[in-house]
Amino acid sequence: MTVAGPVPSPEWRGGRVTAFDARRGIGTVTDTGGVPFDFHATAIADASRSIEVGATVTFTVAPGHRGRYEARSIGPRPATAG
């Protein structure tokens, strides 16, 4: 399978959940640079299969279905000390 677009870094990213359809189990998370990545509910790290739109999260990116990169291991962004 060929994946379209530039290869993203495998490192952890920060972003925000910009869409989530609980009935279908699919959503979109947008990284801090404005790049959107689709995800499936099974990519939510706590196995809850549910996440709030607007939630600030961390995630990784990996080759996914339909020749695009997808968000994986989506979890809450840790609070920063300050």
pLDDT of residue 9: 65
Q: What is the pLDDT of residues 47-60, one digit of tens each?
A: 899 999 999 999 99
Residues 6+ positions from 13 with CB-CB distance below 8 Å = 31, 32, 58, 59, 60, 61
Residue pair 8/63 in contact by the 8 Å Cβ criterion: no
Domain covering 13-76, topology: OB fold (Dihydrolipoamide Acetyltransferase, E2P) (2.40.50)
Q: What is the pLDDT of residues 9-64, one digit of tens each?
A: 668 999 999 999 999 999 999 999 999 999 999 999 998 999 999 999 999 999 98
pLDDT of residue 19: 98
**Predicted TM-score of the model (pTM):** 0.82
